[in-house]
Structure formats: C-alpha cells, structure tokens
Amino acid sequence: MTEILWLRRDLRRADHPALAAAAAAGPVLPVFVVDPRLWRSVGPARRAWVTANLRSLDEAYDGGLCLRVGDPAEVLPRLARETGAERVHLTRETAPWGVRRDAAVAEALSAADVAGVPSGTPYAVDPGTVLTGSGTPYQVFSPWARAWQQHGWPAPVAVPTDLRLAEAPSDDEARRLLDEALAGDLPALAAAGEEAATERWRTFLDGALAADDEARNVPAVDGTSRMSPYLRLGVVHPRTLLADLAGHSGAAVQRYRLELGWREFYADVLHHHPHSAWADLKPALAALEYDEPGPELAAWCEGRTGFPIVDAGMRQMLAEGWMHNRVRMITASFLTKDLHVWWGHGARHFMLHLCDGDIASNNHGWQWVAGTGTDASPYFRVFNPVTQGLKFDPDGDYVRRWVPELADLPGKAAHEPWKHGGAPGYPDRIVDHAQERAEALRRYEAVRA
C-alpha cells in the first residue's frame, strides 16, 4: 500500500523521521503541494530557492517527486484516492499559519478515511517542550538556552536503507510554476540541495568556525555558516548540525550552538504566543508613536537612504536573497529608530525577499531590535549606522561591493561620503541620525511616562 509523504519544510532525505516512518510502512510517494496562497505571497528569490531545492530533491528521488498545485486540504485527499493510500506522513508544523493549515488538512483526510501521521518537527527540540520548573514558558533566552541544552535532543535519524518509491504524475501547472520561478533575471542564490548544504556545512566546520570566531561579525568576510537558507526549507535538520558540533569543542563551537538555540527559542516563543507573529510580544510599547510609511520607507527598501552600511545591506538582500546578520540588526534599527516605522513593515519586506525568511526568527528578531520582544534591553538601544559600519567594515570593502557609487572612496571614507565631497549618483542622507535618535528616545520616554 502506498504511503504518501507530504513535504513542506523538510526537503531532504537524511535525518527525516516522517520519511523513516513512511518507508517502514510501504512504498513512499513523496509529494510537494504548490499552494497558490503561499506561492504568490513571496518574492522571486524565495520562489526560485524553493524551486531549486525541489529539483535537487527530485533528482535524489530519481525523478519520483510528485508535484501538485492547489489547497492541500483538497489535493491530498484526492491524491490518496488516486493511489489507494491510507496514510499521509508529514513533519509536524509549529508556526501559527501552518498549524491552522495542517488542522484543516487533517480534517479533510479524516473525512476521506485517510490518517494523517505526524513525525517530528523542524527543530531539534519541539517548541513548547522546554519549560521552567513551575511549568511556564521562559521569557528570556539565557535561562531558556541553559534548560534547552540540559534537555538535549535525539540523535539524527538514519536514512532508510529499504526505501521503495511509489509513482504518481505531477501536475503540468506545477511544472509550469517551477519553470517560471527559475526564468528571468534572478538573484545570485546559493547552491541548492542536500549535497550542497552538507558541503557548505563541512567547509564551515573545518574552516571559518575553527579559524576566527570574530569573522562572523564582519560582513565583508565569508565568516558565517550560511546554513539559514537550508534550515529554512529543512534541506538539513538542526539536529544533524548539533550532532556534528558535539565532535568539536571551544568557545566558537558553543557560540554557534547558541545561534541554533536562538532559532529554537524564537520558535518556542511563537508557539506559546502565536499573536506575536504580527503583534508586539510585550504590550509595554503599545502606545509608542510611529510614523506612517512614506517615501523614506521606499528609500530604505531600495537601498537609497544615504547611509552606506544600510544601503549595502538592503541591496545585498535584493541581489542574493540573503543579508549578513549584523547588517540585519543595523538596517532594522534604522527603520524603527531613525525612520520611526513600525517593525512589521520591515519584517514583511524581509519575509518577501530573504530565502531564509522564517516567521519566528525573522519577526522576533525584528522585535528584539524594536524593543517589543524578548530582549532585556528595550527600546533605548539605537544603532548608529556610521559607527557600526566603521567598526564592522573598517576598510569599507562591504559597502563598496554593494554600493558601487562609493567605489572611488578608499577605506573608511566609504562610510562617510559627505565628509569627502560625496559620490556621484549616491543620494544624500535622508535623515539626521543624531536628531532621529533623540526623537526615538523622546517617544520611548513618553510611553514610559
């Protein structure tokens, strides 16, 4: 009897509990449903990234990946009838929208006498598992991280050695949408697929991680793992990365383990507080005054603010579907503290363009900067885009790469073109940072009062 494996954020074969459960029960039909509601809601970089990884996975299944288009609550029961399947295996979803979708699918499958069989989640430890001694959710990362590490996680699941594949035709419309996603002028994406993810991870483990922990904060250097786009689609499972880290030691290894912990922590926060996907986690700043988005928001989105490090980051995101984490904090602070725009506008723009855009990590990262989330240091932290640029890109290599108008300004001069006669074609600063910092603090004090 055919076992359907419904793939979403688990586009891999290794360390895949749902695949293992399906393979143990019979021939497996892996299927990906292109849901038009989601497909239309993201930008071209994200569609292309999903498509590239689907094609790689299809090769890993010897062309056996079934592609369908539509509402999964309608597509999956219909596919079960076509194939005679009595079970649909899936990785359990934890984000609010996914939980609601999966509940609707489970109801539709039940009505068709088909069982939904969830196994595992996209996380090393299922969100909601790690609680305080009194059984309540943690509010702050550090104590949560200690408890998370003490709790531990299972070993990676072995790839099924007796995997047999079932067959079902793909929709022509699904193939058309995927072909369309890879056509035209696309961002320069990373290499897709499980093999590429593994190679990238091994290179990082043996190179940047061991060589220089501080390189992770320098955006001009390839000093980060760049695993976030692969983690976003489940091309690799965090449990696999944590198992590999167990064979290494040192401060850099622990720091990276905690970076994976932040991803898990934000998923845990969203699990306990689903409203925080698009609303302030902490209500203390509910009355904070924001400005209505205007031309300044457009300038920020397009990398035309006149602040080089901000513009470089925004242009990198448009060009690669990725942005260095340090620069994400700088650009987010600029939008919320210099332009006084509500964090949700920036979060939506990031989710539209980032290949690693994850609702929990992205939106709670934005709230961390805005002061409305889990951070113990609230709104009064304001990143100075010039000093941040001078500190983390002291030679100006990063800004010159992404803002070619600054190519003729050597060294750190690229961060302050207004002090060096400007740069042809590069815009003037759209705000005075010192004034807007004072205004941000004034608004914060008004709420506190």
> Cα–Cα distance between 297 and 303 in angstroms, integer?
10
Token reading at 222 = 């390839």
Cβ atoms within 10 Å, residue 65: 22
- Strands, E assignment, 109-177: 115-118
> Cα–Cα distance between 292 and 212 in angstroms, integer?
43
Annotated binding site: 224-228, 256, 259-266, 356-358
> Cα–Cα distance between 130 and 318 in angstroms, integer?
37
Q: In what order do the strands lie in the sheet with 66-69?
A: 66-69, 28-34, 3-7, 87-90, 115-118
Q: Are 220 and 308 a contacting pair, CB within 8 Å?
A: no
Q: Are 241 and 227 a contacting pair, CB within 8 Å?
A: yes
Q: Which of 151, 85, 81, 154 is nearest to 119 (CA)?
A: 154
Annotated binding site for FAD: 224-228, 256, 259-266, 356-358
Q: Are 233 and 358 a contacting pair, CB within 8 Å?
A: no
> Cα–Cα distance between 273 and 284 in angstroms, integer?
16
Phi, psi of 32 (to 5 degrees): -120, 130
